[in-house]
Amino acid sequence: MGVGMGRRPLLAMAAAWLAVVVVVGAITFLVVDRAGRGVGQASAAATVALLPSATATPRPTRTTPADSGLGTASFTSDGGTVVATCRDGEVSLDSIRPRDGWRFEKESEHGGLEVVFRTAGHKVDLLLSCVRGVPSRSQSE
């Protein structure tokens, strides 16, 4: 009796191993594909358009119907990005994302919002208020 395996059992094991690899790969692909479909997509209720990263004079983008009373806009500056929403004439902060090396301070008063980005030797003020239901940038004093 020989100790080794014949060719048929060896080929059957190789075929079984290959089938397992293909099945596991296909399942992994499907799971990652499904999970990845929602990544990077904002909800339909609050889609925000980001502006180029070095814009010194940001422009808001209306993201909801005019009659909804709710508008969202994104403002990108040298210091970072602010996303705000107007609700019933008052601006509220959704998110602040400072750039590397920058810090921020925020203050809300009288229905407006002030975000100040700072780094060594630089300062960027964003004064936001609601204009026709959409956050808009006011000029700093």
pLDDT single digits (tens) 5-31? 678 888 899 999 999 998 888 888 877
User: In terms of residue numbers, what domain contains 11?
Assistant: 1-41
**β partners of residue 22:** none
pLDDT at res. 43? 36
The verdict on residue 37 lying in a domain is yes
Whether 55 maps to a domain, the answer reads no
The whole-number pLDDT of residue 108 equals 84
Looking at the fold, whether 129 and 73 belong to one and the same domain comes out as yes
Round to whole Å and give the CA distance between 130 and 139: 13
Give the confidence band of 46 by pLDDT, cuts at 50, 70, 90: very low
The pLDDT confidence band at residue 115, using thresholds 50, 70 and 90, is very high
Cα(56)–Cα(122) distance, rounded to whole angstroms? 13
Q: Is 114 within the bounds of a domain?
A: yes
pTM value > 0.75: no
State whether 37 and 70 are in the same domain.
no
Classify each residue of 63-85 as buried b or exposed e, where b means 16 or more C-beta atoms within 10 Å of its C-beta.
bbeeeeebbbbbbbbebbbbbbb
